[in-house]
A and B are shown apart, each in its own frame.
Chain A
Amino acid sequence: AAGVIQSPRHLIKEKRETATLKCYPIPRHDTVYWYQQGPGQDPQFLISFYEKMQSDKGSIPDRFSAQQFSDYHSELNMSSLELGDSALYFCASSWLGQFEGYTFGSGTRLTVV
């Protein structure tokens, strides 16, 4: 069965650089969620999209932005990267029409040096 695809799996950036993370949800899923997980912490909600419109927002820094495209894939753009942005970034998707929970991708491990 198709899963949630995230790319890249690993990313190393320098401070003040920009990073773009991509997420391809499960086909037919209409909602995408982004989470940030620091070492030893629980995943923190960043932002979600339902049918290509932003549906909810969490503690997402102003330096971050995200969008969902017409093919339902989503991108998280992170600018002016800081050391503290180093974390595991997860994308999840779900189908609101027949909600059965979230399916998470394998995550992108971002390291800012």
Chain B
Amino acid sequence: GIQVEQSPPDLILQEGANSTLRCNFSDSVNNLQWFHQNPWGQLINLFYIPSGTKQNGRLSATTVATERYSLLYISSSQTTDSGVYFCAVEDTGGFKTIFGAGTRLFVKA
């Protein structure tokens, strides 16, 4: 099946810093999503981004489907950005989405 790799696995930032999270996937995908799981366990959809670039406030994402990677940018990080960021891709022709292992982010005040 499709493989999803995220890097870095862990990241510690000072409040106000910027960061880039990466997601590589092994095969063609139907779609790609980025999620944030907060410390209370809630999974929040950040972006549905099969290709191209999207921005939402301090967050933006870019997917280059032909090169099989996606990037999530966090600017001016805040303590509330802490949690785990998951990249998830859907197998072509399937109804299931596979998650990467996530990037665990901790933002220090």
A interface, CB within 8 angstroms of B: 31, 33, 42-45, 48, 50, 55-56, 58, 88, 90, 92, 99-104, 106-107, 109
| Chain B positions 31-46 with a Cβ under 8 Å from a chain A Cβ | 31, 33, 35, 41-45
8 A-B residue pairs with Cβ-Cβ distance under 8 Å, sorted by A, are A42-B101, A43-B86, A44-B99, A56-B94, A92-B43, A99-B48, A102-B97, A107-B41
A-B contact count (CB 8 A): 51
Q: Answer yes or no: B29 CB below 8 A from chain A CBs.
A: no
Query: Which B residues have a C-beta under 8 Å from some C-beta of A?
Result: 31, 33, 35, 41-45, 47-48, 86, 88, 94-102
Q: Tell me whether A88 and B41 are in contact (CB under 8 A).
A: yes
CB distance from A21 to the nearest CB of B (A): 15
Which B residues are in CB contact (< 8 Å) with A45? 96-98
What is the CA–CA distance of A107 and B98 in the complex, to the nearest angstrom? 18
Q: Is the interface of B mostly helix, strand, loop or mixed?
A: strand
The listed residue with most B CB atoms (<10 A of its CB), out of A42, A45, A104, is A42
Best-buried of A55, A56, A100 by chain B (most CB within 10 Å) = A56
Chain A residues with CB under 8 A of B44: 104
Could you list 7 further interchain pairs (A-B, Cβ under 8 angstroms) beyond the known A42-B100, A56-B94, A90-B43? A42-B86, A43-B99, A45-B98, A50-B95, A101-B45, A101-B48, A104-B42
Docked complex Cα distance between A50 and B94 (Å): 11
